[in-house]
Amino acid sequence: MISQLLQNIFKHIDAFLMGCLLFTMLIGLFVLYSASGQSFERISAQLVNISVALSLMWLVANIQPQHLERIAPALYLFGILLLIAVEIFGHISHGAQRWLNLGIIKIQPSEIMRIAVPMMLAWFFAKRETSPRFTDFAIAALLLLIPVALIMKQPDLGTALLICASGIFVIFLAGLSWKFIVGGMVLAGALMPIFWSMLHGYQRKRIEILLDPAQDPLGAGYHTIQATIALGSGGTTGKGWLNGTQAQLDFLPERTTDFIFAVFGEEFGLAGNLILLTLFSLIIMRGLVIAAQAKSTFTRLLAASITLTFFTYAFVNMGMVSGILPVVGVPLPLISYGGTSMVTLLLGFGILMSIQTHKKLVASG
Amino acid sequence: MKSRNELKNYQNEQHNFKLRLGVLGLVVLTAFSLLAIRFYFLQIYRYDYYQTLAENNRISIVPITPNRGLISDRNGVILAHNFFVYTLEITPSKVKNLAATIADIAQLVEVSPSDLKRFNKLKSESHNFESVPLRTHLNEIEAAKFAVNRYRFPGIELKSRLFRHYPLGKQGAHLVGYIGRINDKDLTKLAANDVLSNYKGTDHIGKSGIEEHYEAQLHGTTGFQQVEIDADGKAVRILSSKAPTSGSNLILSTDSKLQEIAETAFGERRGALVAIKPSTGEVLAFVSMPTFDSNLFVGGIDVENWKLLNESLDKPLINRPLRGVYPPGSTFKPFAALAGLENGKRKPPFSISDAGYFMLPRSSHRYRDWKPGGHGNVDMRRAITISCDTFFYGLAMELGIERLSSFVRHFGFGKKSGVDIAGEVGGLMPTPEWKMRRFKQPWYMGETVIVGIGQGYTLATPMQLAQATAILANKGVAMRPRLVAAITDAKTGISQATQTVISDKISLDETNLEIVKLGMIDVTLPGGTAASVGANAGYSVAAKTGTAQVIGMKQNEKYNANLIAERHRDHALFIAYAPAEDPKIALAVIVENGGHGGSAAGPIARKVMDYYLLGKLPEVELPKANVLVKPNENLAPVDPPVNAPVVEHYD
């Protein structure tokens, strides 16, 4: 009886994916405890974030993918409207307009778009009855560029780039001809100067400083220098939990959020880093398998995009902390402190699970 | 057939999808391998290096402050430079008993009460963890004494700092400005401009004048040293360093000798003088009197001196050329004259028969001329020469306020000149719309009448008057005035001249310009209101005198009856350009409470023009004969407009 009930509850949970996620989040809690200066408050706040996110994940996992497909355009439109609202009424937070205050709750429309954009594009390609033509790809590109431009204007370069990536994955997997891909790369190279001129001064500086962190060790280069020292001094097995000198001595900036990986790398060394890389790889592999096995165009494209966006997050964050990518405000997925990104991430995994576990229903129905 | 086709497509699509997914899988693998390699590089290959940095020592980044750029005049005379001095600085958060420690230090090094006061003032303005100077300019012996006893004073440091120095002291203080310690407001501004990291290690910033306006150019780029520090925070080894880049040097367009002559000519009087080269807009002299010693502000001004300057009735801290607003009075007449001529309202040989007053139609009110009984027959040229009020009353009425106002705006009235120094105010050239906006009242005809003689709401700064004169001398072409003539890059040593900018242009009829010019030349000839200025000059001067009534009195000026009497006297104004045929210099002079423009302000202008044009001061005592003395030219009783406000300050 009870076992049946449990079976019903977990019917739509993918055990392998769930295991990997929980293990990674557990590691995250340990790192956060160290990075926050052993603050129980931070841990309990993060536990609340995780609980809320897991509940929502469960909820989404139980929704049939067809329903998700149906609401995709509405969700997308809703997100765009919110982005415009932020542009107009948005209240300034951290110097950038990202939040929309609805009285009771503050929402960050760009986070909605992280789910809505791949859903919308997958819906769009699923709707094409023939194999997509050039005009279809052009429309898809437009659907992608509108939210990306709005988010870049906030300015939130990190999120804009990641949403852009999530859309590009869909377009690529929908079968954009290799001709265009090569052409697009050439064009992107040519458009680089325009993109460069659109960036804010501090964003430009960060990219310049990546090429030469020593250029501004007092300002933006400081992050990179301190993070590489923390990582490098971790060695093979690390200094041990709670023993990272760089992290504990306030040398590291933003060490519970974007730079938490430096704390991890210092305390657990190369061994820890490789374990984390393996965990991320397993999650990504599972996601790709789910995508490969998915039965409809919509689910296929969506599953792949969600998985690959997760990969992009992890790669950009770790690349930034280890000094091979510019400092863009991207958290380390499942590890960094923060509610909003945790919710969006697990919602994504909820969709993956829904796609995987409703497959039979789709096939039979 | 159709369904088979679709099925085929579907399979194709799935095959394609998996292929592409595989490609992306490879991308993931490559990216993560790249990360793994990077981790290996940092954590194994370079482990020793980072280990050393992190464990035994800590890395500290020490900023190296750049040398602030020098400021010199057009001839290379240094107006601002830097030198090293020893300072004794305390970090309050590191000292347990501040009073006792300071008392101990006073045993070694002299600490005067004013040093102490300044220290307390600065301490209250800065954060606890910032070091605050207790003594500056220690001599070698004092420095050595402290160095020997240093171990006794944790939290107190002997520093060698670059100090700003203004060799000419009081001369041109409002022009050059001064630097002062960075406060919270400055920090906010620096953060907004995204240059905060460039100010690590810098504790002074330009606060006024050129020092403020050209802060970005003068400051330079901060260098740094990456040093290892031991447990006590002492530097052990320099890991890497980058030299700072000095700020750019500024070459001003002013001539400090000319500036000195002008300031000396003012003597004890209050006022302002601005001289401009009309063809380029270069400012040649920029005088605000009385002045103050900029050096007082560099180390943080002490309380006594601050009080003295800030509470002085003479208001030495006010930048008069830029922020002092005065009714232009009769100096406005040449511009009103040109407005009348250009609008076709006063075509020669127009003349009036002046009975000594002017009346509006259907009104019995008499707007009187400064000369009781009038000047008789007066044409345009003569009206300028003798400053005939009646003539301009009528001109203004016929022209109307809108036309008059919009015409003189081309001469810079009512708008900022755009000179390259912060804090300029725009004066005021009234229009009916402005009055409605400001006072919610309609415009009265009587107000137009008095605008014709530069009274009423009309207000101008000395900078604006000089610029208006320069535009007149340059035949309607406005060159944006500038104080910095060239900027020298400290690294390359290459000087780049600043741009000459035409900021406005109005096409004017040569014959009209000629009439105004002749009228203005006559001003400095026998019979004119400033005949003494032109006497034995050796070059011709086109000029106009003016007198402005003192309008409002400040409340704090009422306690000294004698002083009020003196300060109630009119302001003397004088504008001129010379040589009249080929103008090389245009200027405006204001002597506060100086009385008449010709006699009070004119001689100052003459000395400046003589030096600039002939390289000498006037040799002979100027003759007093044959001078038409015209006292209180604008004291002609003009009924104030209904509900006339006390005009104080418009920005």
B628 and B613 Cβ atoms separated by less than 8 Å: no
Residues 6+ apart with CB under 8 A from A57: A346, A347, A349, A350, A353
CA B501 to chain centre: 18
Residue A100: predicted pLDDT: 61
Count how many Cα atoms sit within 13 Å of the Cα of residue B125 in the half-sphere of its side chain: 19
DSSP-assigned beta bridge partners for residue B251? B72, B486
Residue B108: predicted pLDDT: 85
Q: Which of B12, B54, B194 sits opposite A245 (nearest CB)?
A: B54
CB < 8 Å to A201, chain B: 194
Tens digit of each residue's pLDDT (9 = 90 or more) over A30-84: 999 998 878 888 999 999 999 999 999 999 999 999 999 999 999 999 999 988 8
Helix (H) or strand (E) holding A346: helix A339-357
Entry pTM: 0.61
Residue with token string 């076992």: A3
pLDDT at B642 over 50: no
A298 CB near a chain B CB, below 8 Å? no
Out of A22-31, B488-497, B573-582, B630-639, pick the least confident.
B630-639
B144 CB near a chain A CB, below 8 Å? no
B25 and A172 Cβ atoms separated by less than 8 Å: no
Average pLDDT over residues A189-212: 74
To the nearest whole percent, how much of chain B has pLDDT over 70?
87
Residue B632: predicted pLDDT: 36
Residue B309: predicted pLDDT: 86
B477 and B439 Cβ atoms separated by less than 8 Å: no
Average pLDDT over residues B496-504: 86
Residue A217: predicted pLDDT: 65
pLDDT at B2 over 50: no
Write down the mean pLDDT value for chain B: 82
Does the distance separating the beta carbons of B35 and A284 come in below 8 Å? no
Mutate to test the interface with A, among B7, B14, B28, B37 (most CBs of A within 10 A): B28
Closest Cα in chain A to B31: A315
Q: Which of A233, A319, A323 sits opposite B54 (nearest CB)?
A: A233
Tens digit of each residue's pLDDT (9 = 90 or more) over B125-155: 766 656 788 888 888 888 888 888 887 887 7
Q: How confident is the model at residue B229 (pLDDT cuts 50, 70, 90)?
A: low
Most confident option among A149-163, A238-252, B163-177, B342-356: B163-177
Does the distance separating the beta carbons of A251 and B49 come in below 8 Å? no
B409 and B415 Cβ atoms separated by less than 8 Å: yes
Average pLDDT over residues A92-118: 69
pLDDT at A360 over 80: no
The Cα–Cα gap between B645 and B331 comes to: 23
| DSSP code of residue A337 | S
B337 and B380 Cβ atoms separated by less than 8 Å: yes
CA distances B610 to A177, B74, B578, B622, Å, are 82, 18, 10, 13
Write the DSSP string, B604-629.
HHHHHHHHHHHSS---SPPP-TT---
pLDDT at A103 over 70: no
Q: Two tokens at B432?
A: 């009916």
pLDDT at A216 over 70: no
Count how many Cα atoms sit within 13 Å of the Cα of residue B36 in the half-sphere of its side chain: 14
Chain A, 235-264: which have a CB under 8 Å from a chain B CB?
235-236, 245-246, 249, 251
pLDDT at B167 over 60: yes
B407 and B428 Cβ atoms separated by less than 8 Å: no
Residues 6+ apart with CB under 8 A from B425: B322, B323, B325, B416, B461, B649, B650, B651
Q: Which of B24, B42, B53 sits opposite A322 (nearest CB)?
A: B42
Q: How confident is the model at residue B26 (pLDDT cuts 50, 70, 90)?
A: very high
Backbone angles phi, psi at B45, to 5 degrees: -65, -45
Does the distance separating the beta carbons of B58 and A249 come in below 8 Å? yes
- The amino acid that residue B522 corresponds to is D
CB < 8 Å to B202, chain A: none
CB < 8 Å to B194, chain A: 201-202, 205
Tens digit of each residue's pLDDT (9 = 90 or more) over B564-615: 566 777 888 999 998 999 999 999 999 988 877 778 888 999 999 999 998 8
Residue with token string 């290459």: B494
Residue B530, SS3 per DSSP: coil
Residue A154: predicted pLDDT: 77
Chain B, 9-38: which have a CB under 8 Å from a chain A CB?
9, 12-14, 16-18, 20-21, 24-25, 28, 31-32, 34-36, 38
Does the distance separating the beta carbons of A251 and B50 come in below 8 Å? no
The Cα–Cα gap between B336 and A342 comes to: 73
Average pLDDT over residues B332-349: 89
Backbone angles phi, psi at B459, to 5 degrees: -140, 140
Average pLDDT over residues A129-147: 86
Helix (H) or strand (E) holding B466: helix B462-473
B291 and B263 Cβ atoms separated by less than 8 Å: yes
Task: Tally Cβ neighbours within 10 Å of residue B19.
Answer: 11
Residue B129: predicted pLDDT: 59
| DSSP code of residue B221 | B
B45 CB near a chain A CB, below 8 Å? no
Residue B559: predicted pLDDT: 38
**Shortest Cα–Cα distance, B68 to chain A (Å):** 19
- How would you class B135 by CB atoms within 10 Å of its CB: exposed for 0-12, middle for 13-18, buried for 19 or more? buried
A318 CB near a chain B CB, below 8 Å? yes
Does the distance separating the beta carbons of A214 and B61 come in below 8 Å? no
**Higher model confidence: residue B102 or residue B196?**
B102
**Shortest Cα–Cα distance, A8 to chain B (Å):** 32
Residue B624: predicted pLDDT: 39
Pair type for strands B71-72 and B249-252: parallel
B194 CB near a chain A CB, below 8 Å? yes
| DSSP code of residue B241 | E
Catalytic residues of B: 330
Residue B233: predicted pLDDT: 56
B289 and B263 Cβ atoms separated by less than 8 Å: yes
CB < 8 Å to B47, chain A: 232-233, 235-236
Write the DSSP string, A53-106.
HHHHHHHHHTS-HHHHHHHHHHHHHHHHHHHHHHHHH-EEETTEEEEEE-SS-E
| DSSP code of residue B454 | T
Pair type for strands B283-289 and B366-368: unpaired
Residue A107: predicted pLDDT: 67
Average pLDDT over residues B105-120: 85
| DSSP code of residue B354 | E
Residue A220: predicted pLDDT: 60
A206 and A326 Cβ atoms separated by less than 8 Å: yes
Residues 6+ apart with CB under 8 A from B505: B410, B476, B477, B478
Chain A, 275-294: which have a CB under 8 Å from a chain B CB?
277, 280-281, 284-285, 288, 291-292
Out of B121-125, B253-257, B312-316, pick the least confident.
B121-125
Q: Which of A131, A245, A315 sits opposite B31 (nearest CB)?
A: A315
Task: Tally Cβ neighbours within 10 Å of residue B550.
Answer: 14
Helix (H) or strand (E) holding A119: helix A109-127
A359 and A65 Cβ atoms separated by less than 8 Å: no
Residue with token string 């932020």: A86
Backbone angles phi, psi at B356, to 5 degrees: 105, 0
CB < 8 Å to A233, chain B: 47, 50-51, 53-55
To the nearest whole percent, how much of chain A has pLDDT over 90?
48
Q: How confident is the model at residue A249 (pLDDT cuts 50, 70, 90)?
A: low
CB < 8 Å to A322, chain B: 35, 38-39, 42
The Cα–Cα gap between A51 and A49 comes to: 6
**Shortest Cα–Cα distance, B226 to chain A (Å):** 9
The Cα–Cα gap between B590 and B604 comes to: 10
Q: How confident is the model at residue B563 (pLDDT cuts 50, 70, 90)?
A: low
The Cα–Cα gap between B311 and B223 comes to: 41
Does the distance separating the beta carbons of B25 and A173 come in below 8 Å? no
Residue A252: predicted pLDDT: 66
Tens digit of each residue's pLDDT (9 = 90 or more) over B508-554: 999 999 999 999 999 988 888 888 888 888 899 999 999 887 654 44
Nearest to A337 by CA among A50, A20, A21: A50
Q: Which of B28, B39, B240 sits opposite A214 (nearest CB)?
A: B240
**Higher model confidence: residue B420 or residue B361?**
B420
Out of A97-101, B5-9, B538-542, pick the least confident.
B5-9
Residue B235: predicted pLDDT: 65
CA angle B198, B202, B208 (to 5 degrees): 100
Q: How confident is the model at residue A94 (pLDDT cuts 50, 70, 90)?
A: very low
Tens digit of each residue's pLDDT (9 = 90 or more) over A287-314: 999 999 998 999 999 999 999 999 999 9
Residue B128, SS3 per DSSP: coil
Interface predicted TM-score of the whole assembly (ipTM), two decimals: 0.91
Peptide bond into B645 cis (omega under 30): no
Write the DSSP string, B9-41.
HHHHHHHHHHHHHHHHHHHHHHHHHHHHHHHHI
Q: Which of A173, A217, A277 sits opposite B20 (nearest CB)?
A: A173
Residue A236, SS3 per DSSP: coil
B622 and B531 Cβ atoms separated by less than 8 Å: no
Residue A219: predicted pLDDT: 62
CB < 8 Å to B40, chain A: 270
Closest Cα in chain B to A303: B21
The Cα–Cα gap between B391 and B352 comes to: 7
DSSP-assigned beta bridge partners for residue B286? B274
Average pLDDT over residues A177-201: 81
Q: How confident is the model at residue A105 (pLDDT cuts 50, 70, 90)?
A: low
Write down the mean pLDDT value for chain A: 85
Closest Cα in chain B to A169: B24
Residue with token string 């009534």: B549
Write the DSSP string, A168-233.
HHHHHHTT--HHHHHHHHHHHHHHHHHHHHHS-HHHHHHHHHHH-GGG-TTTTHHHHHHHHHHHHT
Residue A31: predicted pLDDT: 94
Closest Cα in chain A to B240: A214
Chain B, 615-644: which have a CB under 8 Å from a chain A CB?
none
Residue A135, SS3 per DSSP: helix
How big is the A-B interface in CB pairs under 8 Å?
129
The Cα–Cα gap between A212 and A249 comes to: 25
Mutate to test the interface with B, among A130, A170, A208, A218 (most CBs of B within 10 A): A218
Does the distance separating the beta carbons of A230 and B35 come in below 8 Å? no
Residue A104: predicted pLDDT: 52
CA distances A18 to A21, A24, A33, A54, A183, Å, are 5, 10, 23, 10, 40
Q: How confident is the model at residue A253 (pLDDT cuts 50, 70, 90)?
A: low
